[in-house]
Structure 1
Amino acid sequence: MQVIKIHHPLDPQLIPAGPVVLAMGFFDGVHRGHQAVIRRAKEIAQQRNLPLAVLTYSHAPGVVYRQYPGGFKYLSTTERKLALLEQLGVDRVYLVSFTSQFAALAPQDFVDQYLVDGFHSQVVVAGFDHTYGPAETASMDKLPTYARDRFEVVTVPKFTEDGNEKVGSRLIRQLIDAGQVQEANAELGYYYTTTGLIVHGLARGRTLGFPTINVETPTPERLPGIGVYATDVLIGGHWYGGMASVGHNITFGDDNQLTLEINLFDFSQMVYGEEVKVRWYQYLRGEEKFAGADELVAQMKRDEQAARQVVAHRPVLEDQILS
C-alpha cells in the first residue's frame, strides 16, 4: 500500500496520474462502520478496475482547536490505522496533515483542489455523516452540488448493530473508557489492541509470586478503564495469554501513578525493552484495595483462573480483519 503524506497546499507532483475511487474519513479505529465504507469503495474500484485510495488525516481535527483539554486518545494511532486499511485492500492512502490553512478551505475549493484536480477522483465514497468542512455547508448531501458531475458520489448509510445505536468511534471510546472491551470488540469487528514498551517496574509482582511486565503505553493511545482484564500479549512474534491490571496499585498507597502491569501465563523470559502489542478480551473486575498481601494474592489466583478460561475460549469475531 502506498502512503502519500500531504501538507496544504497540495503539491500535484506527489499524486500519481490516473483516476481513482476515493474513500474519505478520519477512520479512528477503522471499526465496522468504517469497514463498510472501505468495502463499498473497494467493490466499486474492482468493478471499474481502478485503484482504491483513502483520504484520511494524521491527527484528529479537534486537536488543533484544543477541543480535548486532557489530550486526545486514539483508538488507532496513525501507524495502526494504516495497517488496518492495508488489510482491507486499500491501494493508496493520502495522509493529510490537518492544519488551520487546510481547515480554512471553502467546501468548493476543497472539492476542486483535492478531490478533482489533485486526486483525480472518479467516485467518492464516504459515510452518511462525513463532513469536509462546517456541517451546515459541507455535508454528504451537498457534495454532488460541489462535484458538478465531475465525479460520482456514493454515500454509505448508517451502520447499526441490530438496528440500534450507530456503530461509531465515539461510542467505542466510551465503551473502552468504561472497561467494556468485549462490547467494544464487537463494534470494532476485531480485538482492541494497544502497543507499548516493556520497562522496569517496582517488582512487587515477583515478590507475590505473580511476576508482571510493566508496559509503558504511548501517550496518544487509549488504554481501557481501570480494572483487571484477560489479555494476550505479542512478544517476539508469539502471543502469550495473561491478566492485565490497569490501575494505581492502591493496596500499596494512594498516590501511585497509573500503570499497565500484565502477568503472563507460563512465561519466564527477560524482555525489558521489547515492544509489544496487547489484545484486550474481557473485563474481569475493578481495582480493589486489599487489607494485605495475602488477601491480594488470593484474589490474583482467582483472577488467573478466570483469565485463563477467557483466553482459552476467546470468541472468534465474524468480521475480524486482524490475523
Structure 2
Amino acid sequence: MRVIKIRHPLKKELIPAGQVVLAMGFFDGVHRGHQAVILRAKEIAAQRGLPLAVLTYDHAPGVVYRQYEGGFKYLSTTARKLDLLEQLGVDLVYLTSFTSAFANLTPQNFVDQYLVNFHATVVVAGFDHTYGPAEIASMELLPKYAQGRFEVVAVPKLTEENSEIKIGSREIRRLIDDGNVTAANHALGYVYQTTGLVVHGLARGRTLGFPTINVEHPAEERIPKIGVYAVTVKIGDHWYEGMASVGHNITFGDTNQLTVEIYLFDFHRMVYGEQVKVRWYKYLRGEEKFAGADELVAQMRKDEQHSRQDLRELTTVHYDLQ
C-alpha cells in the first residue's frame, strides 16, 4: 500500500496518473461501518479494474480548533489506521493534513482541487459524511459539485443487529470509556488494540507474587476506563495472555497516578524498554480498595482464573481484521 502525504495547497505532481475509485472519511477506528464503505469502494474498483484509493486525515479536525478538553483520544492512531486500511486491501492512501487553510475550502473548491485531481471516477463515503459544514457539504449535495466528472456512492447506515443504534466512532468511544470492550470489539470487527512502552514501576506486584509490566501509553490513545481486564500483550512476535489493571493502586494510597499494569500468565522475562501492543478482550471488575495485601492477592487469584477462562473463549472468536 502506497501512502502519499498531502498538505494544502495540493501539489499535483504528487498524484499518480490513472483513474481510481476513492473512499473518503476520517475513519477513526476503521470500524465495521467504515469497513462497509471501504469494501463497497473495493468492490467497485474490482469491477472496473481500477486501484482503490482512500482520502483520510492525519488528525481529527476538531483538534485544530481545540474542541476536545484534555485532547482527543483516538480509537486508532495514524499508524494503526494505515495498518487496518492495508489489511482491507487499499492500494493508495492520501493522508491529508487538516489545516485551517484546507478547512476554509468551499465544497466546490474541495471537489475541484482534490477529488478531481485525485482522478476519481467514483467517490464513495458514508451516508452522513461531510466535507465542510453539513448544510452545504453533504453527500446529497456532492453530485452537484461533481458536475458529472465522477459518480457518487453513499453507503447507508450500518446498525447493530435488532437495533437502530448506528455503528460509529462516537458510540465505540463511549463503550470503551464505559469499559465495555466486548461490545466495542463487536462494533469494531476486531479486538481493540493499544500500544505502549514497558517502563519501571514500583515492583509491588512482584512482592505479592504477581509481577506486572507497567505500560506507558501515548497520550493520544484511548485507554478503557479504570478497572481490571482480560488482555493479551504482544512482545516481539508473540502474544501472551494476561490481565490488566487500569487504576490508581488505591489499596496502597489514594494519591497514586493512573497506571496500566499487566500481569502476564506464565511469563518470567524482564522486558523494560520493549514496545508492546495490548488487546483488550473483557472487563472483569472495577478498581477496589482492599483491607490489605492478603485480601488483594485473594482477589487477584480469582481475577486470573476468570481471565484465563474468558481468554480461552474470546481468543477463538474469528475477526477479519487484526
For Structure 1 versus Structure 2, the TM-score category normalised by the shorter chain is over 0.9
1:150 equivalent in alignment to 2:149: yes
The total of aligned residue pairs comes to: 321
Q: Distance in 1 between matches of 2:320 and 2:296?
A: 36
Within 5 Å, give how 1:129-278 maps onto structure 2: 129-162=128-161, 163-278=163-278
Secondary structure of 1:68's partner?
coil
Secondary structure of 2:34's partner?
helix
Segments of 5+ residues of structure 2 without an aligned counterpart are none
Segments of 5+ residues of structure 1 without an aligned counterpart are none
Match of 2:121 in 1: 122
Secondary structure of 2:121's partner?
strand
Q: Distance in 2 between matches of 1:134 and 1:277?
A: 37
Deviation per residue, 1:212-260 (Å, 9 max, x gap) = 0000001110000000000000001101000000001011111111000
Deviation at 1:315, TM superposition (A): 5.3
Q: Distance in 2 between matches of 1:315 and 1:293?
A: 31
Deviation per residue, 1:43-70 (Å, 9 max, x gap) = 0000000000000000000000110011
Q: Distance in 1 between matches of 2:3 and 2:286?
A: 41
Secondary structure of 1:72's partner?
coil
TM-score normalized with structure 1 length: 0.98
Q: Distance in 2 between matches of 1:69 and 1:208?
A: 38
Q: Distance in 1 between matches of 2:296 and 2:79?
A: 38
Deviation at 1:318, TM superposition (A): 5.0
Structure 2 residue identity aligned to 1:210 = F
Within 5 Å, give how 1:93-108 maps onto structure 2: 93-108=93-108
Show structure 1 runs of 4+ deviating over 4 A.
315-319
Structure 1 residue identity aligned to 2:150 = F
1:74 equivalent in alignment to 2:92: no
Contact 1:53/1:92 (CA < 8 Å) preserved in 2? yes
Q: Distance in 2 between matches of 1:273 and 1:199?
A: 6
Q: Distance in 2 between matches of 1:318 and 1:170?
A: 24
Structure 2 residue identity aligned to 1:89 = G
Secondary structure of 2:170's partner?
helix
Q: Distance in 1 between matches of 2:50 and 2:255?
A: 57
Structure 1 residue identity aligned to 2:158 = F
Contact 1:31/1:168 (CA < 8 Å) preserved in 2? yes
Q: Distance in 1 between matches of 2:281 and 2:258?
A: 20
Structure 2 residue identity aligned to 1:299 = Q
1:43 equivalent in alignment to 2:36: no
Q: Distance in 1 between matches of 2:91 and 2:53?
A: 6
Q: CA RMSD in A?
A: 0.8
Secondary structure of 2:69's partner?
coil
